[in-house]
Each structure stands twice: as structure tokens, then as C-alpha cells.
């Protein structure tokens, strides 16, 4: 059985629908809860690594000393070419380990906003059958540069670099497709202070609003994950 391992930075940001997909796909699932002081498994025992988001930043090592060890672990996982998917902070961490700059974005992006595939993204096998433009959930203030040698896959109006693929085994997603209503409600509960009047920050009511949006994202997420598995040859 293939093993999916995920790194979780705070209790309220979970892999959400990724776990549903992984169970359906027959993965054994395990976790490192960094906020709880968990250790890391040997990278060689992992078939697919998922690095989740969190309110901290890539450079906040003084406040979160475990970031140092996490970056060391990610560096080793990438050296061993373990297929990795990073979401939000997770994507920024992977980009940083690959040598790319992570910095504040011009705008904070919080709420439901369209993501558009780049020309390279539209032509890439990873994104076959993915719409050229789709709605996704966002909650971030930082952004990553595209790592050297990676493909720039997607952008949004507020944030140019929304997704990258490095050597077909490292996928970074700034946006969220994995969330369900309970995930978004938890983000609002813990991070409501970030919801202010700004160009790309929606109201609390809009963020928590239309539950149909989650079901629109699910098939896109599942298609993307399935394509990534095919690309990395993770099939049984």
C-alpha cells in the first residue's frame, strides 16, 4: 500500500478533501503535527508528501523553531525525489527549499477568487482536463517566486505566482482546493483579524457563503491529484 504523509502546522489547517481522495485511492495516511512537536519519518518511507498551510511565514524561525528542522526534512525529501505537494505555506516552503524567494505579496488575498492557467499550464499534462479558469479559495499574504527550472502553472489577478511544478515531482499551490465548509469556518475563527477592508479580501459573509463552491472545487482537486499521481508514476 502506498503511504501519504502530511505535515500540519496548526490544528485548524488540515488536508481536508485530500484525505478523502487518498482514502479512495488506497493510500495509508500518516501525519507529522509540527505544532505538537512530532518528529519526521524517514523520507524513504513516504510515497507522497503533502505540506499544509499555516498562518506563520517561511522566515518565522525565531517564533517557530521547528521550521528549521522542517526545511531540513524537506530538503532531504526533495533530494530523494519524494513526490511532494505544497499548499499555501507548504508551497512557499517548497519554493524556499528549492532556492526561490518568498516575500510579501502586493495584496493579501482572502476569499473566493478565480485562478487562471498560464500558457505553459494549459499545455502541461498535469493540467489536462482542468478548466483554464476556475474559482478557488485563498488565504495568504505572502507569495513565492517560481523556482529555477520549474514551470509556472497558474496566476490570479491579485497574485501572479499561484502554482508551479518542479521536475514533475514537486507541485506548489498557493490556492486552496482542498477545503470544505468546516475548514473555511476554522480559518475564519482563528484568523478573523485578517479580514479587513482591502481590494482582495472578501467579507466574512462572502467567505462563509455559498456552499456550492466547495463541490465545484472537488472534481478539479481530484483530477489534479490523479494527474500528479500519474505523472510521478505512483500507481500500484
Q: How many CB atoms lie within 10 A of CB 70?
A: 22
Give catalytic status of residue 88 as yes or no.
yes
Active-site residue, selected from the candidate residues 5, 13, 88, 140:
88
Give catalytic status of residue 138 as yes or no.
no
CA 114, CA 213: separation in Å to the nearest integer?
12
Give catalytic status of residue 61 as yes or no.
no
Distances (CA, A) of 38 to 108, 144, 164: 31, 27, 28
Active-site residue, selected from the candidate residues 13, 70, 109, 178:
178
75-97 residues labelled b (16+ CB within 10 A) or e (exposed): eebbeeebbbbbbbbbbbbbbbb
CA 3, CA 221: separation in Å to the nearest integer?
19
**C-alpha cell recorded at residue 8:** 500540519
Active-site amino acid positions: 88, 176, 178
Amino acid at each position: 500500500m502506498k503511504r501519504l504523509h502530511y505535515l500540519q502546522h496548526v490544528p485548524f489547517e488540515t488536508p481536508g478533501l485530500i484525505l478523502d481522495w487518498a482514502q479512495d485511492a488506497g493510500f495509508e495516511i500518516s501525519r507529522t503535527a509540527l505544532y505538537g512537536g512530532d518528529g519526521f519519518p524517514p523520507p524513504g518511507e513516504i510515497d507522497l508528501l503533502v505540506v499544509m498551510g499555516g498562518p506563520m511565514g517561511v522566515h518565522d524561525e525565531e517564533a517557530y523553531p521547528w521550521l528549521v528542522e522542517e526545511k531540513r526534512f524537506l530538503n532531504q525529501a526533495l533530494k530523494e525525489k519524494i513526490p511532494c505537494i505544497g499548499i499555501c505555506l507548504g508551497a512557499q516552503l517548497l519554493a524556499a527549499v528549492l532556492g526561490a524567494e518568498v516575500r510579501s505579496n502586493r495584496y493579501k488575498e482572502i476569499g473566493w477568487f478565480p485562478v487562471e492557467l498560464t500558457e505553459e499550464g494549459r499545455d502541461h499534462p498535469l493540467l489536462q482536463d482542468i478548466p483554464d479558469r476556475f474559482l478557488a479559495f485563498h488565504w495568504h499574504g505572502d507569495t513565492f517566486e517560481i523556482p529555477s527550472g520549474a514551470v509556472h502553472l497558474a496566476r490570479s489577478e491579485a497574485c501572479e505566482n499561484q502554482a508551479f511544478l518542479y521536475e514533475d515531482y514537486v507541485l506548489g499551490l498557493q490556492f486552496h482546493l482542498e477545503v470544505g465548509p468546516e475548514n473555511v469556518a476554522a480559518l475564519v475563527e482563528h484568523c478573523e483579524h485578517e479580514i479587513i477592508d482591502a481590494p482582495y479580501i472578501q467579507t466574512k459573509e462572502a467567505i462563509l457563503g455559498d456552499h456550492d463552491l466547495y463541490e465545484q472545487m472537488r472534481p478539479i482537486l481530484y483530477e489534479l491529484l490523479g494527474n500528479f499521481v500519474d505523472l510521478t508514476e505512483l500507481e500500484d
